[in-house]
Amino acid sequence: MEFHKSPADADADCDDEASAKLMVNHQHVDPVNPSSGRPTPIHNSFTEVEVVRLEDRVTLEAHNMEHLVEAYRKKRSSVLQGEKARDFDFECRVEATPIEIQVDSILHKLRKEDEKMFEEEKPRKGNGGQEHPRFAGDHYLSNVDLIQKSNLFRVARHLPKGSHLHIHFNACLPPRFLLDIAAGMDRMFITGNVPLTPENLDRCQIEFSIKSKDDENDEPAPINMFPSDHKGRWCMKFGTFLTLSENHFDGLKPMDWVVKKVEFQEEEAYGPLQTAAGAWKLFNGRTKLMKGLFNYEKAFRKYVGAFLQNLVDDKILYAEIRPTFMESNYLFSDDGTGKKNNAEIMDIIIEEVDKFKAGLSDKNMFHHIRVIYCTPRSMNEEQMEAGLNECIRFKERWPEMIAGFDVVGEEGPVNHVEHPLKKFTLQFLVFRETCKRKDLDIPFLFHCGETLDMGTSTDGNLIDALLLGAKRIGHGFALPKHPYIMQLMKEAGVCVEVCPISNEILGLTPRAASHAMYALLANNVHCTVNSDNGTLFR
């Protein structure tokens, strides 16, 4: 048989199978569009026989595919169940009581309502006029006003919370609290590093300090603080500063301008040119500003009481605070003539805590706070040793008040100088052995992993925290990048004090959805959520 022949020329004696093959293989050109090369349908008994056979085959194949799809679905379901069984909250879900299941359902409904609230807000306009719909997981500083109106925030405030474990004590209340006290202090001074011209309002760095009458003469007079021809620093009483005209502060009241200097602004945190290093530079300036508002007795005592009341209002039963101690650390008297040392500062904390607890009508509203002894990582070896020794003395004197030891400050290089934990290996090992000998429980609660670095001494702090036996670590943002260290910490029961809002504003993650805490929880690493330096983050 020759396949170039047409069907009409085929031998009449061809069997059905041969004819069917002929019909399948022969290509008929479309008479309407010869160039298409498409076969022209041919209607005869042979093609109908073949079509039936093809349909049977397709039906059979479809039946087989259904089995394959069903098998795939079962495998997928099995994998999904296996993953859920490894979730950090799996046991809670499996063992949930009927009322807990009901509450969970209510919270999901409230969350849906919150999502709708965000979606109904007017979109924000970005580059080129592009509209960006509002959503709950957007930048914290962009959303903070809406967050405070949300159902989940309202519920969260009323839920009892077992503990708050990562609080820098000099920055945990709204800025107006300390500023309002400072406004009434006769010896409180405000200092700026550049004249307050319109172009300097944003970049002027201010500080506060209690000064005695003798010390007042050491600072430059406030004259010419506004003209551009004035150079250098200026200083004046804060009360006098607050009487200045709004015209000097771009229409803001002087106090509102100062509050703006304390709190991170949206553009500062999320500007296209901002980096983690740049955000830390702003952060360090703000902590320096806060120090002078905090380090005199009247403000400090009031601050302790207000902080404790804030814990009660937020239903937090227990907290650990991180004051910074060092040899040069003092708490000034209200007139600036006297100083209290670290031990006397501890006495004040204990006095105010006892007074607050005695005034509670319900003792179950609040249990206790303890102090984590902190000293700056920028200290040299001798200064670090002195801090460790003082921590031991404090533990011996107030065994129920000292919760642990930590080093604080920017973890990465500052002015190209590094201060990794390994720098103090000898001092830390001696401290640990001394605690064993004296039967003292002072765990290391190190800040570490608060970085985007990989393979640097900063990144290596995770290794040293592990080897030094840290009970908890602060931030631990870099930990998921180190699966082996993460596994060892998990086995050792190390808890990570995650601080998502702080990490976002200081440039480690653009939004909370990409925070490292989700990877940590997915790997069943113990975590607590914390505020860090809430004053600065609104």
Give the CA distances from residue 4 to residues 27, 50, 273, 374, 383, in Å, rounded to whole numbers and listed in that order: 10, 21, 73, 94, 99
pLDDT one-digit tens code per residue, 248-291: 899 999 999 999 999 999 999 999 999 999 999 999 999 999 99
Work out the mean pLDDT of the chain and round it to a whole number: 89
Q: What is the pLDDT of residue 228?
A: 63
Across 16-25, 167-176, 214-223, the highest mean pLDDT is recorded for 167-176
Matching residue, tokens 């004819």: 19
User: Residue 222's pLDDT is what?
Assistant: 53
Q: Taking the alpha carbons of 481, 484, 485, 490 in that order, is the dihedral positive or negative?
A: positive
Q: How far apart are CA 316 and CA 288, in angstroms?
A: 28
Query: Lowest-pLDDT range, 219-228, 354-363, 463-472?
Result: 219-228
Percent of the chain whose pLDDT exceeds 70:
87
Residue with tokens 């993650």: 509
pLDDT of residue 12: 41
pLDDT at 185 over 60: yes
Could you report the per-residue pLDDT of 39-96, keeping only the tens digit for each?
444 444 444 445 556 666 667 677 788 888 899 999 999 999 999 999 899 999 999 9
How do the domains of the chain map onto residue ranges?
A: 7-64, 93-121+133-158, 164-175+286-537, 186-262
Per-residue model confidence as pLDDT tens digits over 441-450 = 999 999 999 9
Query: For the segment 466-499, what is each residue's pLDDT rounded down to a tens digit?
Result: 999 999 999 999 999 999 999 999 999 999 999 9
Q: Tell which wins on pLDDT, 312 or 36.
A: 312
Q: Is the pLDDT of residue 172 over 90?
A: yes
Query: Which residue, chain included where needed, has tokens 């709204």?
Result: 174
Helices (H), 271-424: 276-294, 297-313, 342-358, 381-397
Q: Which fold has domain 164-175+286-537?
A: TIM Barrel (3.20.20)
pLDDT of 9 > 70? The answer is no
Is 235:244 a contact under the CB 8 Å cutoff?
Answer: no
CB atoms within 10 A of CB 486: 23
* pLDDT of the residue at 342: 98
